[in-house]
Chains A and B, each alone.
Chain A
Amino acid sequence: MSDDLDDLKDLMQAATPQADPARKAENLVLAQKNFDDLQGSKDKRRLSSVRSDKGLFRGVIHMFANFPLRGALVSSTAIVAVAMIAVFPQFSGDSVSNGPLGGLTSFSGNSSQETQVELSGDAEQAILGQGSDSPDIHTDLDVEFEPGLAETVVVEEAAEISLDAVEMRARPSAQPVARSAPRGLAPALTAEPAIIAPEINTETFANADDNPLKVTAEDPVSTFSIDVDTASYAVVRNSLMAGRLPPVEAVRIEEMINYFPYDYAAPQTGQAFRPTVSVTNTPWNEGTQLVHIALQGAQVTERPPLNLVFLIDTSGSMNQANKLPLLKQSFRLMLGQLRPEDEVSIVTYAGSAGRVLDPTPARERAKILAALEALDAGGSTAGQAGLQQAYATAAEMAEDGQVSRVILATDGDFNVGLSDPEALKDYIADKRDSGTYLSVLGFGRGNLDDATMQALAQNGNGTASYIDTLSEAQKVLVDQLSGALFPIADDVKIQVEWNPAAVAEYRLIGYETRALKREDFNNDKVDAGDIGAGHQVTAIYEVTPVGSDARLTDPLRYGAATEGRDPSELGFLRLRHKTPGVEESQLIETPILADMDEISQDARFGIAIAGFGQILRGSDLMGDWSIDDAIGLATDTRGTDPFGYRQEAIGLMRLASSLTD
């Protein structure tokens, strides 16, 4: 390199000022705070991995080894000084406030006079000629280290002793206290007022833009897959309970509606499910109507034996009260619902991935509980390796006439291996054909990777639920166990063809992530959602009748004539589903009539939720309708509400209402 660049470098190094100690302390606090927030809790008992217990000096040595040769000798004092301060917390308080942490960059221009004297000739040459304009001279370094022994030696001899010597001398005294270093720093750091940190969150949510308004004359057919997930409602609840509005992308309206049990008409014997269609006026728009499509799945009375593989995330991030411990409690609840002949196996994925419980009949409760209790969080998350093992275990357990399901419990983070939802999707979709279902239970916030959860569950023919409280575990794993575990209809698709003579415009509320192409409806190769025993699915369309004032688009002057067609049919509903294990789908068809039965009071609660969800998503089609109107409608239609779910939702609406004011 040419000389002028070296000159420039020397000048630059001389020009570089010291980091302001106060700002540094603030910034360190800020970083640590954000770090903690990111872990989803303020938990100070974060397990430290083995690595951090093993003495910082290794790292120092490593840095020596990697340091550019030029200036290495000069820099050694500064590096040792940093390490020492980390190692001897009793000095660090002062050193932070005095700002002599020196640091890696201070070696050049600002090295202390004393250390300079002791440096070898070469090193001195390197320093000479560099301006020392900074008054921040580090003479206090030596003073600070005097109480110790090893450190004085190091500072004085750093220029001559070999790296090995540094390691040998420094290590014995450093090792035992190294791990307390960060705590030692804390008091001095926290004395500074913390800066308000910008929101940093690693949660990702699966969502898409609102379904757009469609003009019937142009695009009369709407096709989508059903969705029985409820995860979105629990995420919304969790946010509101924490006193903030949920992120818009976390609000999936169909999942909020489908969270609640409704009193839909039961299917006749031999049928997998029964559709009920009703039409009612839209509460938030006088000129439109809502077409409410409800599916009720059959209850199973006789169920085949069940093989369950619990695939449990035991990564370090699960080590929080609302994650692994809640998971253990939840599974304990669920175990009570299993029959003696059902089989359970537990596979963990983490640094120590493996099968911690071989397939065990549910009657051996004590053995299963012991294995569950022994689970401990720690290590990294490698989702895929665990998935492979879980599927292998499920295949091993499978016998004719049994239902196998992998239940994946995680905080949603697959941070090693396939972290790309698309790639994981492909893997799960491959495995789906083996007849093993996959359900995903999400735990905890802050780390929740909703997009991955959705990708897994949708492609594994399963459901994604988010469990934030024990009562949610009760709902998902106990009250709705049969629905969650026993599929009665696979790949359920809905297609509605709207009649342009009766409906000018329509839009589907929710199901944004479930849209299918029109041709996918008849293609049995295309995957869709599944209905479990007793599941209920609700889909709501808002339709604008022909001639209504509420029409948002103008009719086409040269559009196809609709005169003469029968306007008494609003549209035509087609449903496809497969009996589990059968390749070919069955078709159910029924017209949607303008004079359909008025919707039941009970089902109108779902409309209140749909309105609430749209407000949370910031829809611009809600007019003056507010959350307070949703509260009114929900209260009127609450009914008996035996589990209190609806009352809870009304409470959440109140919270949301006060948060938006």
Chain B
Amino acid sequence: MDVSDESLALAAAKGDRAAFAALLERVYDRLFALAFRLTGSRAEAEDLTQDICAALPAKLRSFQGQAKVTTWLYRVAVNAAHDRRRRQTTHARAAEGWGDWETNRRAANDEDARKIIGLQTMIRALPNDLRDTLALVLDDLTHAQAADILGVSEGTVSWRISEAKTRLRKMKEGIE
């Protein structure tokens, strides 16, 4: 008997309440961090995490231990991010995002933080597929793992990463 994430997830999939609570507690912050990288905004990340939490119990039923929980969760998160973007047909959210950006900008005083905000803005400016790929790879996943989660080939992941880097570099040059 071991309590790996996988066994917790399997127990939870079968209706074990305590296992579900323990699992979610374990992974929540990690999920949030990924959500932040996928959305590039704190408010959006909070909402996306909420979407994932709401849907997780139902999704979990299909978890059959065929993948690592983290891999599986990342897939759920990426899909939830896709769904969310699809739903955002108006610009209302984007406007809020800028409000968020402004708050961040005012809160930031030192050089480092300004760099960070520049980075966030730049990352938000990336196309969705590049941003998703980058978010996963920045979260210490290998290209192969990211490819598995996104359902694309490893080569595509590598290409997207280099493309994202190129674009970020160009944006950076544009700013400086």
List residues of A whose CB falls within 8 A of some B CB: 2, 4-5, 8-9, 11-20, 23-24, 26-28, 30-32, 34-39, 44, 46-52, 54-59, 62-63, 66, 68, 70-71, 82, 86, 101-106, 131, 133, 179, 181-183, 185, 195, 197-198, 200-202, 315-317, 379-380, 415-416
With A51-B11, A82-B25: A12-B119 Cβ-Cβ less than 8 Å = yes
Q: Are B21's CB and A181's CB within 8 A?
A: yes
Q: Are B36's CB and A16's CB within 8 A?
A: yes
Q: Are B57's CB and A35's CB within 8 A?
A: yes
Q: Are A46's CB and B17's CB within 8 A?
A: yes
Partner of A31, one of B54, B112, B113: B54
Interface segment, one of B42-50, B74-82, B85-93: B42-50
Q: Which residues in window 50-67 of B have CB below 8 A to A?
A: 50, 53-58, 60-61, 64
Nearest CB of B to A272, in Å? 43
User: Can you list 10 A-B pairs with a CB-CB distance of less than 8 A?
Assistant: A15-B119, A24-B29, A28-B28, A38-B57, A51-B19, A55-B3, A70-B140, A86-B25, A102-B29, A380-B14
**From B120, which residue of chain A is reached at the shortest CB distance?**
A15
Q: Are A49's CB and B14's CB within 8 A?
A: yes
Considering the chains assembled together, what is the distance between the CA atoms of A274 and B17 in angstroms?
A: 53
Considering the chains assembled together, what is the distance between the CA atoms of A182 and B25 in angstroms?
A: 9
Interface range for B: 35 or more
Partner of A103, one of B3, B29, B123, B161: B29
Partner of B53, one of A15, A31, A48, A59: A31
With A11-B119, A54-B3: A101-B29 Cβ-Cβ less than 8 Å = yes
With A5-B161, A12-B138: A51-B3 Cβ-Cβ less than 8 Å = yes
Q: Are B112's CB and A32's CB within 8 A?
A: no
**From B46, which residue of chain A is reached at the shortest CB distance?**
A23
**From B61, which residue of chain A is reached at the shortest CB distance?**
A202
Q: Which residues in window 19-41 of B have CB below 8 A to A?
A: 19-22, 24-30, 32-33, 36-37
Considering the chains assembled together, what is the distance between the CA atoms of A254 and B92 in angstroms?
A: 47
Q: Are B14's CB and A197's CB within 8 A?
A: no
Q: Are A63's CB and B17's CB within 8 A?
A: no
Chain B residues lying within 8 Å of A19, measured Cβ to Cβ, are 28-29, 32-33, 46, 49
Answer yes or no: B148 CB below 8 A from chain A CBs: no
Chain A residues lying within 8 Å of B55, measured Cβ to Cβ, are 34, 200
Answer yes or no: B175 CB below 8 A from chain A CBs: no
**From B137, which residue of chain A is reached at the shortest CB distance?**
A5
With A8-B168, A35-B20, A49-B14: A30-B8 Cβ-Cβ less than 8 Å = no
Considering the chains assembled together, what is the distance between the CA atoms of A63 and B70 in angstroms?
A: 10
Answer yes or no: B115 CB below 8 A from chain A CBs: yes
Considering the chains assembled together, what is the distance between the CA atoms of A105 and B24 in angstroms?
A: 14
Considering the chains assembled together, what is the distance between the CA atoms of A34 and B61 in angstroms?
A: 12
Considering the chains assembled together, what is the distance between the CA atoms of A68 and B134 in angstroms?
A: 17
Chain B residues lying within 8 Å of A17, measured Cβ to Cβ, are 36, 42, 45
Considering the chains assembled together, what is the distance between the CA atoms of A179 and B17 in angstroms?
A: 11
Considering the chains assembled together, what is the distance between the CA atoms of A31 and B80 in angstroms?
A: 15
Chain B residues lying within 8 Å of A195, measured Cβ to Cβ, are 50
Q: Are B61's CB and A415's CB within 8 A?
A: yes
Q: Are B5's CB and A316's CB within 8 A?
A: no
**From B142, which residue of chain A is reached at the shortest CB distance?**
A68
Answer yes or no: B95 CB below 8 A from chain A CBs: no
Nearest CB of B to A571, in Å? 47
Q: Are B54's CB and A30's CB within 8 A?
A: yes
Q: Are A59's CB and B2's CB within 8 A?
A: yes
Considering the chains assembled together, what is the distance between the CA atoms of A454 and B2 in angstroms?
A: 38
Chain A residues lying within 8 Å of B56, measured Cβ to Cβ, are 31, 34-35
Q: Are B29's CB and A30's CB within 8 A?
A: no
Chain A residues lying within 8 Å of B49, measured Cβ to Cβ, are 19, 23-24, 27
Chain B residues lying within 8 Å of A201, measured Cβ to Cβ, are 58
Q: A8-B138, A11-B116, A19-B46 are in contact. List 19 more A-B contacts (CB 8 A).
A: A4-B165, A5-B137, A17-B45, A30-B50, A34-B56, A35-B12, A38-B61, A51-B1, A51-B3, A59-B26, A66-B70, A70-B140, A82-B26, A179-B18, A182-B17, A182-B18, A200-B54, A202-B61, A317-B15
Answer yes or no: B7 CB below 8 A from chain A CBs: yes
**From A35, which residue of chain B is reached at the shortest CB distance?**
B57
Chain A residues lying within 8 Å of B20, measured Cβ to Cβ, are 31-32, 35
Considering the chains assembled together, what is the distance between the CA atoms of A101 and B119 in angstroms?
A: 26
Q: Are B21's CB and A51's CB within 8 A?
A: no
Which are the 9 A-B pairs with shortest beta-carbon distances? A103-B29, A182-B21, A105-B33, A35-B57, A19-B32, A131-B112, A31-B53, A59-B3, A15-B116
Considering the chains assembled together, what is the distance between the CA atoms of A104 and B36 in angstroms?
A: 14
Q: Are B15's CB and A63's CB within 8 A?
A: no
**From A379, which residue of chain B is reached at the shortest CB distance?**
B14
Answer yes or no: B110 CB below 8 A from chain A CBs: yes
Answer yes or no: B16 CB below 8 A from chain A CBs: yes
Q: Are B58's CB and A28's CB within 8 A?
A: no
Answer yes or no: B68 CB below 8 A from chain A CBs: yes
Considering the chains assembled together, what is the distance between the CA atoms of A104 and B34 in angstroms?
A: 11
Chain B residues lying within 8 Å of A14, measured Cβ to Cβ, are 112, 116
Residue among A5, A198, A416 with most chain B CB within 10 A: A5
Q: Are B16's CB and A5's CB within 8 A?
A: no
Chain B residues lying within 8 Å of A55, measured Cβ to Cβ, are 3
